[in-house]
Amino acid sequence: MPDLRTAATALRAYRIAQARLLRNPANPLRRRQYDDTAYTLCVLMGKRDATEAAAVAERLLAASSADTKANRARRTRTTIP
């Protein structure tokens, strides 16, 4: 599994490039940026499809966030004598 920060950064870059491409689909620079970020995300997540790679990254980050919140709640409930 990739480092969580790396996955979050790659996912964010992919989503930004995707939005920019949707706003200007004829722009070759936007297409290249999208393709580059999609490729990076696919390699990190071990998938061939960018949409699937993004979904896997989102699930990974959500699970990590849930684990972190649960650990914080557990530590908060523990009282120190």
Per-residue burial over 29-63, b = 16 or more CB atoms within 10 Å of its CB, e = otherwise: ebeebbeebbebbbebbebeebeebbebbeebeee
Q: At what angle do helices 50-77 and 28-45 cross, to 10 degrees?
A: 60
| Stated pTM of the model | 0.79
pLDDT digits (tens, 9 = 90+) for 59-71: 999 998 755 555 5
**What does the block give as tokens for 28?**
């070759």
* pLDDT at 80 > cutoff 70: no
Q: Convert the pLDDT of each residue in 23-42 to its tens digit.
A: 999 999 999 999 999 999 99
pLDDT at residue 81 is higher than 80:
no
pLDDT at 17 over 90: yes
